[in-house]
Structure 1
């Protein structure tokens, strides 16, 4: 137990999640690093957190499972005694990109369970804990960040299940921001654009062309996990105290409409 703020980051061992974990560690947070399967990657991230002066606690949990979500929050409180920030980041891409007219229900069910249902109820658990800890004077002004995607509003007909799950996350952020404002818990949605991770590795050549040659994004470069991490740190360090339900685009300007 100590006075340092504590963050839980789901999907924290790789990609965007890793960038968020390391950014928070650099900002003075201890971090609970949630991972689903890659224990080696989680251990490496834990070492990097400690190298930045923070403490890391690794929790293997599948956010789509009720008991795992409960265990994640319980271990956070048992280890650190507090929960100041939840970053709901874990998500998966479709196993197979399938045309909307050919897509199978199994893929849809999988993505909704992991990408939407899991975060929806994890936020509920975290919010209850934060409310209790505020009343006990353990934390003040806790926060919740939901990491969604430009796919929340961008139609990709070969991965409709993914788009639907991210659109649901956008509404999840709005709902919880409205419900939790009376408790002093601000909720933010961060929408990454095209970020260079292992998830986008298979389409790198296509996006290289779209970004650098066709101007898909006004800022002509790939986004990096650290770009998302910096946005989370802005929330975590109280730089946006009079905002809640805010959508923070980290997308190189993709969302701009130009003529």
Structure 2
């Protein structure tokens, strides 16, 4: 790991780094925003809409020294990406980290043979297509800017899912879209490594959020039977800690890897 220097953003007195977190208004995104602020980041929070008082809610768990900016935008609308990215970069004058957290899941779980074209297209439009083209545009801007600080100081983090690797036929379109995100992280890792930008994939497992409420009873019953080695629901804060550690540059000699934040659910057991 690189030693701390005057150019290192983590050095005392250095400017705070800046992260963009898509889908950051709540749920896992809110946990990521809070954790990043505690790691010395100012954060641009992107989301489709913000209800009144949302910024105050985010600040409750954030480092008081951090600045938070809100940028509205539907990342599935590719034509709006130029405006969205420009506002994200200009909010605090730079971006050092992109966290691709925004995503959708299935409206209701059901038979793989009944997946609709609309549900399939929505999952891929938001989880895969939007994340790819947003990362492409943000990274062009990052490469055009002077690098800030030490090795690993700039990063891209993709939030995928344990279903990127664990088959879930009752939410097949979601699982397929997240498997594509897993490969996307590897591809960008190869493309950006020479420029000192590390790319990571974080795979949350059972995380207690409004998105997982539809399956809460099912997984509560499984946890009662000892479903995972760390046998509990995860929290947005669990995911936030993992993301902020990666974004802080604490593993600069690694890129393209998947970090499982799932209580060990991915471990094959007999």
**Which TM-score applies when normalising by structure 2?**
0.89
Mark the CA change 1:75 to 1:151 in structure 2 (over 3 Å): closer, same or farther. same
Q: Secondary structure at the match of 1:30?
A: strand
- Secondary structure, in 3 states, of the residue corresponding to 2:52? helix
Counterpart in 2 of 1:84?
Answer: 96
* Equivalent position of 1:112 in the other structure: 124
1:242 and 2:246 correspond: no
Q: CA deviation at 1:202?
A: 2.2
Match of 2:155 in 1: 143
Alpha-carbon shift at residue 47 of structure 1 (Å): 3.2
**d(CA) in 2 for partners of 1:191, 1:138:** 28
Q: Which of residues 29, 33, 36 is equivalent to 2:41?
A: 29
Q: How far does the alpha carbon of each residue in 1:95-124 deviate from its partner, in whole angstroms, 9 at most, with x for none?
A: 232311111101111111011100011111
Deviation of the 1:45 alpha carbon: 3.9
Match of 1:222? 233
1:186 has 2:198 as partner: yes
User: What's the CA shift for 1:68?
Assistant: 2.9
For 1:132-171, list aligned pairs within 5 A: 132-134=144-146, 137=147, 141-171=153-183
Q: Mind listing any 5+ residue stretches in structure 1 that lack a counterpart?
A: none
For the Cα contact (< 8 Å) 2:228–2:265, is it kept in 1? yes
Instruction: Name which structure has the greater RCO, CA cutoff 8 Å, separation 6+.
Output: 2
Whole-angstrom distance in 2 between the partners of 1:227 and 1:110: 27
Equivalences, count: 255
Return the offset for 1:200. 1.1
Q: Which residue of 2 aligns with 1:126?
A: 138
Aligned residue in 1 for 2:115: 103
Change (3 A) 1:41 1:65: farther
TM-score by length of 1: 0.93
Q: After alignment, is 53-62 or 71-80 more displaced? A: 71-80
* Long gaps (5+) in structure 2: 1-13
- Residue 209 of structure 1: how far off its partner (Å): 1.3
1:138 is displaced (CA, Å) by 5.0
Residue pair 1:130, 1:139 contacting (<8 A) in 2 also: no
Deviates more, 1:177-186 or 1:187-196: 177-186
